């Protein structure tokens, strides 16, 4: 493998970020052709950081005042917006919309406001947004859990056993920063800076906070999205309802998952596994922990972020 390969796939660097060729082409189409609306909401993340969960929470919060739970869109459509599948509730710019067409018809989107997602770093995403007041929500996760999640995901999509050698070679790629959308730290730091500079338009969340303090975090998200949770809703159990609707158990058992495929022959359930914090402890050696912690500590220095 060359320096720009990740698991046998050639990657291309654009604005400091590594992409597969077809993804990069879609990024360029997006940059050239996307016209934002002031009300757009974009869910951003580094892959395997909890994107699906954040998409579901965003949909649930925005839709909660429109319908009762039975007709909630999450019960009839999925939040994923996967490659080559039905468009989903929160489609990816570069893995879905602009992958299929250089000028996709965005009038067909079902959500209002329009919801999108992306894994691009903020500086690339921001280009076509210019001065748009649209909102961007980012979820960050411990890189060690991201890597373990990616390892299992890769094994599932490639139909291979999740062997140590795959984990070890992925680990080296992550440490070098050469992997899909890598380097991890540049992606995280672009949104971290954006959220500090422009907190009205960029919200920085973490998977770990969502797990540890879900009520507090979804209230924060609702406030940012401009649909704050009222005292009445707190007392009526609405927050609990949203959390349950978006739980890993509920999302992975949606009826819509039982029909259709994520892509190729894969079930939608490829997006759900354990959903835990610190699963890396079951897989990393102390050498791996030490090496990646050293890199992240150095990269995150001065950002206020901890591992």
SS3 percent helix, strand, coil of the chain, rounded to 5, is: 50, 10, 40
By CB under 6 A, the residues from 242 to 271 that bind ligand A3P are 246-248, 251, 271
Residue number with CB closer to ligand A3P (77 or 145)? 145
For ligand A3P, the binding residue among 52, 96, 195, 217 (CB under 6 A) is: 52
Among 23, 51, 58, 195, binds ligand A3P (CB under 6 A): 51
Nearby residues of 26 by Cβ (< 8 Å), 6 or more positions away: 93, 94, 95, 97, 98, 99
CA–CA dist 6, 21 (Å, integer) = 12
Residues pairing with 136 in the sheet:
42, 202
> Between 265 and 304, how does the x/- string for binding to ligand A3P read (CB under 6 A)?
------xxxxx---x-------------------------
Specify the pairing of strand 17-19 against strand 115-118: unpaired
Q: Using the Cα atoms of residue 120, residue 121, residue 127 and residue 133 in order, give the sign of their dihedral.
A: positive
| Six-digit token string for 33 | 């052709």
Interface pattern 201-240 for ligand A3P (x via CB under 6 A): ----------------------------------------
Q: Does 96 bind ligand A3P (CB under 6 A)?
A: no
Q: Are 140 and 205 in contact (CB under 8 A)?
A: yes
Pick the stretch among 43-51, 127-135, 177-185, 255-263 that binds ligand A3P (CB under 6 A).
Answer: 43-51
Select the residue interacting with ligand A3P from 23, 45, 58, 179 (CB under 6 A): 45
Pick the catalytic residue from 29, 72, 119, 268.
119
Select from 43, 44, 42, 50 the least CA-distant residue to 247. 50
Binding residue for ligand A3P (CB under 6 A) from 142, 149, 190, 195? 149
What's the rounded Cα separation, in Å, for the pair 80 and 55? 7
Applying CB under 6 A, which part among 40-48, 120-128, 165-173, 217-225 lies near ligand A3P? 40-48
Note whether 23 binds ligand A3P by CB under 6 A.
no
Of 95 and 296, which has the nearer Cβ to ligand A3P?
95
Taking the least distance from each CB to ligand A3P, the nearer of 128 and 214 is 214
User: Which residue, 282 or 301, is less far from ligand A3P as judged by CB?
Assistant: 282
Size of the site for ligand A3P (CB under 6 A): 21
Per DSSP, what are the bridge partners of residue 206? 140
Which of 141, 171, 121 has the alpha carbon at shortest distance from 16? 121
Residue 104 structure tokens:
């996709």
- 249 carries an active-site annotation: no
Phi then psi dihedrals of residue 82, to 5 deg: -90, 165
- At 27, give phi and psi (nearest 5°): -60, -40
Q: Which two tokens stand for residue 228?
A: 């704050």
Nearer to ligand A3P, 127 or 209 (CB): 209
Distance of CA 185 to the CA centre of its chain: 15
Between 86 and 277, whose beta carbon lies closer to ligand A3P? Answer: 277
Please tell me whether residue 154 binds ligand A3P under the rule CB under 6 A: no
Q: Which residues bind ligand A3P (CB under 6 A)?
A: 45, 47-53, 145, 149, 152, 246-248, 251, 271-275, 279
Active site residues: 119
């Amino acid at each position: 493998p060359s320096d720009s390969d990740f698991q046998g796939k050639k990657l291309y660097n654009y604005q400091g970020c590594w992409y597969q060729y077809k993804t990069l082409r879609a990024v360029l189409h997006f940059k050239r052709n996307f016209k934002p609306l002031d009300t757009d909401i974009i869910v951003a993340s580094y892959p395997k950081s909890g994107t699906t969960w954040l998409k579901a929470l965003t949909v649930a919060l925005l839709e909660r005042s429109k319908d009762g739970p039975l007709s909630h869109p999450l019960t009839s459509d999925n939040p994923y917006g996967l490659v080559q599948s039905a468009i989903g509730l929160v489609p990816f710019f570069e893995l879905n919309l602009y992958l299929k067409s250089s000028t996709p018809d965005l009038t067909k989107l079902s959500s209002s406001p329009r919801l999108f997602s992306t894994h691009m770093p903020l500086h690339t995403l921001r280009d076509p947004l210019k001065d748009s007041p649209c909102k961007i929500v980012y979820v960050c996760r411990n890189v060690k859990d991201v890597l373990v999640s990616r390892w299992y995901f890769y094994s599932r999509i490639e139909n291979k056993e999740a062997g140590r050698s795959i984990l070890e070679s992925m680990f080296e790629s992550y440490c070098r920063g050469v992997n899909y959308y890598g380097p991890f730290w540049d992606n995280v730091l672009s949104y971290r800076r954006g959220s500090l500079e422009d907190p009205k338009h960029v919200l920085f969340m973490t998977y770990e906070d969502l797990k540890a303090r879900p009520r507090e975090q979804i209230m924060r998200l609702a406030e940012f999205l401009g649909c704050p949770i009222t005292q009445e809703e707190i007392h009526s159990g609405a927050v609990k309802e949203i959390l349950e609707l978006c739980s890993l158990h509920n999302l992975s058992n949606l009826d819509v998952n039982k029909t259709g495929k994520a892509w190729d022959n894969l079930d939608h359930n490829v997006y759900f596994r354990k959903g835990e914090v610190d699963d890396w402890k079951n897989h990393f050696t102390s050498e791996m922990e030490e090496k990646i912690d050293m890199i992240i500590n150095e990269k995150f220095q001065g950002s206020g972020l901890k591992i």
